[in-house]
């Protein structure tokens, strides 16, 4: 079983819509969950982290965590063409600080 | 601003050569990481270091070694480069406070011929 799974996409949404990105993980002891954004030809950069069940909002971004279902999601409200990128879900390994990354979901926001 | 630099943006080497990739961070971070990123395989952890002279194997350490003699510098070594090590190599440095964040370098695109 893959440790962190994401739908590779591409996920296409119109400008102004809500983009919903999903991630499941296999390690039940994981405590730290992250969303990184990677533009084409660039390095990943952290968007959000979440540690507790529920929702965490930061501007247009909302991270959602459900540890019982081993599920993390990222919602992007009022999507903009500049949000077009690959979104990487990451989960800490073995309760430590090294991360397992998913393969990423490609998001395309069309004007 | 956190800055993570890598020694080369592009590198071309021959099979069997010894290759050194260097990474430097300027924020006194204890933890540093080496990943490789390949299409369809995502970002995979090769090695990481939690302090000077300390290292841990990641998911794919075979064919690689690392060196961390100074806190700011973390080197990845390909002892005898092979064509299947052609990849994008990304170094990262971890900030734990105030937020747990890995900062990535710009990457080195290594081609082994």
Alpha carbon distance B75, A88 (integer Å): 25
Provide the total of helices (H) and of strands (E) in chain A, helices listed first: 0, 11
> Is some CB atom of chain A closer than 8 A to the CB atom of B48?
yes
B84 backbone dihedrals φ, ψ, rounded to 5°: -75, 0
Under an 8 A CB cutoff, do A46 and B42 touch?
A: no
- Helix (H) / strand (E) element for B105: namely none
Q: Report the gap between the CA of A57 and the closest CA in chain B (Å).
A: 15
Q: Nearest CA to B100 among A36, A53, A5?
A: A36
Instruction: State both tokens at A2.
Output: 């893959």
Torsion angle of the four alpha carbons A63, B60, B71, B77, in this order, in degrees rounded to the nearest 10: -140
Percentage, residues of chain B above pLDDT 70:
100
> Is some CB atom of chain A closer than 8 A to the CB atom of B101?
yes
Buried residues in B8-35 as b, exposed as e (16+ CB within 10 A): beebebeeeeebebbbbbeeebebbbbb
Q: Nearest CA to A96 among B60, B2, B31?
A: B31
Q: Nearest CA to B19 among B88, B62, B75?
A: B75
Q: Report the gap between the CA of B87 and the closest CA in chain A (Å).
A: 13
Q: Which chain B residues are within 8 Å of A104, Cβ to Cβ?
A: 42
> Is some CB atom of chain B closer than 8 A to the CB atom of A32?
yes
Pick the residue of A25, A97, A102 with the most B CBs within 10 A to test the interface with B by mutation.
Answer: A97
Closest Cβ opposite residue A43 in set B48, B100, B107? B107
Instruction: State both tokens at A51.
Output: 């540690």
Other CB atoms within a 10 A radius of the CB of residue A111 amount to: 7
DSSP B43-62: EEEEEEEEETTEEEE-S--T
Predicted confidence (pLDDT) at residue A50 exceeds the cutoff of 90 = yes
Q: Report the gap between the CA of B42 and the closest CA in chain A (Å).
A: 4
pLDDT, mean of residues A10-30 = 95
Q: Which chain B residues are within 8 Å of A103, Cβ to Cβ?
A: 40-42
> Is some CB atom of chain A closer than 8 A to the CB atom of B23?
no
Tokens 């005898």 label which residue? B80
* pLDDT tens-place string over residues B58-92: 999 999 999 999 999 999 999 999 999 999 999 99
Percentage, residues of chain B above pLDDT 90:
93
* pLDDT tens-place string over residues A51-74: 999 999 999 999 999 999 999 999
* Residue in chain A nearest B38 by alpha carbon: A103
**A1 band by pLDDT with thresholds 50, 70 and 90:** low
Dihedral (CA of B20, B41, A92, B5) sign: positive
* 3-state helix/strand/coil string of A56-72: EEECCEEEEEECCCCEE
Under an 8 A CB cutoff, do B104 and A97 touch?
A: no
Please provide the average confidence, as pLDDT, over all residues in chain B: 96
Under an 8 A CB cutoff, do B42 and A43 touch?
A: no
């Amino acid at each position: 079983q893959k440790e962190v799974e994401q739908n590779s996409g591409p996920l296409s949404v119109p400008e102004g819509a809500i983009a919903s990105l999903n991630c499941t993980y296999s390690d039940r002891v994981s405590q730290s969950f992250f969303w990184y954004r990677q533009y084409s030809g660039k390095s990943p950069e952290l968007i959000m982290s979440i540690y507790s069940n529920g929702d965490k909002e930061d501007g247009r971004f909302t991270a959602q965590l459900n540890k019982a279902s081993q599920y993390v999601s990222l919602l992007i409200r009022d999507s903009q063409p500049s949000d077009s990128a690959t979104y990487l879900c990451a989960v800490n390994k073995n309760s430590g600080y090294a991360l397992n990354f998913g393969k990423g979901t490609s998001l395309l926001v069309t004007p | 601003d956190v800055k993570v630099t890598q020694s080369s943006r592009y590198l071309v080497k021959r099979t069997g050569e010894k290759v050194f990739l260097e990474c430097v961070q300027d924020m006194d971070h204890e933890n540093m990481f080496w990943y490789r990123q390949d299409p369809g395989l995502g970002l995979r952890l090769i090695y990481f270091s939690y302090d000077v002279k300390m290292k841990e194997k990641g998911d794919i350490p075979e064919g690689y070694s690392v060196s961390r003699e100074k806190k700011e510098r973390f080197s990845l070594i390909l002892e005898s480069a092979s064509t299947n090590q052609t990849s994008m190599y990304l170094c990262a440095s971890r900030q734990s406070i105030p937020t747990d964040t890995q900062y990535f370098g710009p990457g080195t695109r290594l081609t082994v011929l």
